[in-house]
Amino acid sequence: MRKSIVTTFVSRGAGVAIACAAICLLCTNGLTWAQSQRATMTYASMAPAEGYLMDRDEEIALARSAAPKSVSQDATVLVLGRQGYQTAVEGKNGFVCMVERGWNAAFDWPEFWNPKIRGADCLNPPAARALLPLVKLRAELVMAGRSQEEIIAGVKSALAARQMPALGSGAMAYMMARGSYLTDAGEHNGPHLMFFIPVSQAATWGADLPGSPVMSSSYWFFSPKAGGNTDGLPPLRVFIVGVGWWSDGATAPPHSLHHELP
């Protein structure tokens, strides 16, 4: 995160920290970056592949719940298999819904390998065109047993070979599923929208400022100490806006933004 800022949703007095990248949330419940790393040392390596898999019908239902029915009912739905993401339902509106795992998030997220993460996500057509190849590549590498370093190298190689399409304008995603599990911390979840912009600075949207409803994070690495690890990765930032209801229309707990400097 820029300047080691931990961005927090404060819900009914309980801190639920949310800083999103790759399409999944980082939640640290008000902990500093170093504390969150110590709290999740059990996820230092990949869990057995079976731990990331779900029942097919349950995965389809959770994926669709990422967005309101009016959006997701005609969307393509992906499910995770032993070789990566596969199409379970062919859609017709250009949206793509899936359940993402921790390894879809920023490479330096402490819960990257957490097998409990289930982040229902529904990408609009511009986001699906540009980001799905990256999401699928990561999944294929993970399910093949590759290390985090090998995954990063694979992504950089694909980008260098121009195998990944450029991000167009208007890319966004819904993450409004009540049944998602986004982190071990806090209340584990929070409905929000995400917008993907090829810029490096949060100031572009006035994000992460006191009173701003917009949060942001680099798509690739949370920590500004990533340094040379970002070489070969184009500028790409995720802007996050929390919403007050779940995809089924039920009211979610009220949230306000809080920025905490470690």
Average pLDDT, the chain: 83
| pLDDT(229) > 90 | no
pLDDT at 185: 84
DSSP E strand stretches across the chain? 6-11, 14-17, 19-21, 24-26, 76-81, 84-89, 96-100, 119-123, 172-175, 192-197, 214-218, 237-242, 255-260
pLDDT at 85: 98
Query: In this structure, are residues 98 and 89 in contact, taking their beta carbons and an 8 Å threshold?
Result: no
Q: Residue ranges of the domains in the chain?
A: 2-260
| pLDDT(36) > 60 | no
pLDDT at 253: 78
83-92 pLDDT, tens digit each: 999 999 999 9
pLDDT at 254: 61
